[in-house]
Chain A
C-alpha cells in the first residue's frame, strides 16, 4: 500500500495514484529540471482515511439528504461546509498518520510548502476546471501540512465541485483525491505561460506579476502580458498592468504587500527572462506533445516550474448557466471590503432616498393615466433594485461564509455553524422591528385597562402606545396612516400584539455572554501580529450577516411603494366592478387605468382530473437548521397578511422566512421552511431564539396544511406529520 511517492519516483503509470498534475510535474522535472522538491500523497491514503474513519458513509449521508436537483446553491455550500468540517475534525488513524508524519518531516522539516490538489481525472477535464479544488500556500510544519492535506481531500467535495458533479463524475464510492506537498519557492516574479494563444495559434502568451503566483491565478492581481511569435520568439506586444501590490508569504499564509516605487514602474520580466520562459513552455510542449499552460516562478534569477497542464482548445462553458454566477460569489477579503463600502456608502443611502421620494408622492391626486405611468416607473425601479440585490447584496453575503471557513479552520468546532453565534447583532433592522413589537406588547402586558380595551375593540387612550403603533405602521406597512388599508393593518397588528402580550420575550443575556466568549476564543487562535486582520474579518462578517438580514427589508421598502400604487389602482378599478382584481398583473392594471373600457379577460378555471390518490406526508427531511424539538399545530403562511392569524405555540410553515415575518418567531414552537440553507433568515432567527428549525423541506407549503399536527426534530432535520396511529 503506497501512501506516499516522492515526485522523482513518479512515472506515467502512477496517474491513478497521484493524479495528472503530479505526473506532469514529474515529467517536467525529468526534462526541464528546476521543479521544487515534492511528495505525492496518493489516492490510497485518501481511501484508507475515509474508510478507516467511517467518513465515506458520512459523506454519503450528507450528499443523499435530498436530491441535488432540489438543492439551492446555499444548500450546496452547507453540504460542502459540513463535509469539510468532518475532514477538519477527524484525525488520521495512527498508522497512516505515522507514515505521513515521518515522510513529511524528513523531506520538509520546517520549510514552507504549498499543498495542492491532484485529483485523478482532473487532467482529462483540463484547465477549464482548474480552481474547483483547493491549494494552500505557505504551509509550514508537519502537523499543519497534514491538516492541510485533509483540507485538500475535503475539497474533493467543495461547493464548486458539487456544482460540476456531473462533469467531474463525482461519486462517493469512486472519487478520490491525491495531494502534492511541494517546497514553496518564494519567487521575485511569477507567472503563467501559454505555449499557444487560444485566440491565435501562431502566438504564445506570457503573464507575469511580482511576488507569488497565487495573486495572478485567483485574479486578485492584474498581470503584465506579452504576446510572443511562436516561430521567431519575437515579442509582438506588451500590455503593462497597473502595478501596485504583490502577494507574499506571511506567517502561515499569504498577504498583499505594496510594491516599491521602482517595481511599480518596471515590468516584472526582462527580455532575457521572457526568452527563458518561452524556452520552458516549448520544452513542455515537446514533453507532452500538446500545447501547455505552465505556471512558473523566478527566484534569484533561477526559473522554476510549478505546474504544467494542457490547454484545452474548447473550454468547457462555465458561463452560460447559474453556476458561473454562484462561483462569482466566492470573493476575496479585499473584494468584499470594497463591496461593503459601495453598499454602505452608496447603494443603501440611494435606495432609502429613492423609497422616501416615492413615499412622498401623493397617489390619490394623480389622474388614472398618471397613476399607470407611476406604476410602470415603480415597477422599473423595483427591477433595478432587484438587480442590485442579486449583483451586490447577495455576493456580499459571502463575507460571513468566508469568515465561517476561517473560524472553522482555526477553532475546529464540533458544530460547523458555531461561527454564526459570533455574528449576531442587535443592530439588524428586523431586530429593531421586533424590539418595537415587543415593547408595545410589554405595554399591553403591564396596562390592564389598555389590554381590556384592545380585546373588546374599544377606543383606548394611551399616548405612548398610540404613537408607537402609528409610527410602526407608518414605518413598516407602507400604507399612509388614515387610509383603509392602514386601518386594516392596524387591527391585525393589535390582534398579534395581544397574543404577544401573553408571552414574555426570551432573555438574550446568555446569548451575549456566549458571543463574547466565542469571540475571545477565535481571536486567541491568531498570533498577535495577525489579530488585527482577524478583527477586520470578523467586522466584515458581522456587516455581511447584518446585510443578509437587512437587504430584504431595504428592498421591501421599494416593493412597498410599488404595492401602494397597485393598491390605489385596485381601489379605483374596484369601483368599476371588474372581478378578480387581485389576480390582475401590473400590465393589466395599467391597461385598465389607461383605458376605462378595457375589460381584462377572465382566466378560465383549470379542469383537474379526479384524484386517484391523496398524497400525505408522514416524515419529511430537510436541513437541521435550529437544534431543538418542536411539537404543535402547523400554520402554513402563503401571504404575509396570514401572519396576523398566527397563534402562540403554532409551527410556522412557509416558503421562506422573510425578515418582515420574523416578528412572529418568538410565538413559534418551531419553523419549517421550503427554502434551504443554514445562513438564511429562518435559520438565523431560529438560532437567535433557540427555536427548533428545519429548512430545505421540498414542497413544505404544499404537503403540510394549516392545522396538521407536527413534530419537528431540529437536531436531525426531520418533520413528522400527524398523530402516531396508522
Chain B
C-alpha cells in the first residue's frame, strides 16, 4: 500500500462523509414538518444505525504486547442493513388537521414517496418521504498506538468544514484504551484476552440556527479474545454498548419557526462480535459481524508496524 493508495483511501472516506453531509441538508427539510414523537419515529432507524456503526470495528485482535512500540492506521467501513420494520413508523397527523389519524409513514430510511391521508371537507395531510436506504455506513480513519504495560490507545478523528452554510461541518472524535489481560494469565493460556472501552462523539450537518443538526455519542466497554493461526486471526468480543442521539432543527409546520430539540433515549445493548483478520507484515485486512440490538458488519484495511500489531 503506497502513499497514493493511502491518499486515495482517505479521499474516498472524505467523499462518503461529504455525501452524508449533503444528505443532511435534506434531513432538516424533511424534519421541519415534524415535532415530538413523529420526529423521533422518523429518525429512530438512523439513531440505531449510528450507534451500531460507531461501536463496531474497534478491535481486530486481542493480542497486545506488554512493552514495545506499535502503530497502525486503519480504515474500517461499518455498516448496517435495514430491515423492513425500519422503513415505516406509526405517525400521527399534526396541527389543525382533523380528524387526527395514525398511519404507517416512511421513516428516514423508508420510501421516498410522501404518505398522504385525507380528512374532513376534502383536506389532505402529507407525511414526508424518506431517503429509501437499504443500508447505512460510516467510514472512519482510526489510529491504534501502543503499548505500555500491555495497554494501547485508539483514536478516531476527522473534521470537515464543507464550506457550505447549509451543510455545516461534520466530524468525529473518539478515544479508547485497551489493556492486555493475557499478560496476567501466563504464556500457556490458549487465547489472547484483552479488555477496553471506547467513547466517541459524531456530529453531522448544521441547522438553521447554526448549531449541529445531528449529534451522536457512543460508548462501549467489553472484553475480546483472539487466536493467531499463521496469518489468520479469528477474533470475538463481548461488550456493553450505549449510544444516544440529539437532533436540533427548526420546525415551521405551523407557519412560525420554532426550534425543536430531540433527545433520543440512550440505546443500551449487549454486543457480540465475531470476525477474522488477515495479518500480513505491514498490511492487514479484517471483516466482522456484530450481533446487537441493531446488528452491523464491518470490514477494512490497516497499515502499520511494530511489535504486536
On whether the two chains bind one another, the answer is no
Q: Which residues of B contact A (CB under 8 A)?
A: none
Q: Which residues of A contact B (CB under 8 A)?
A: none
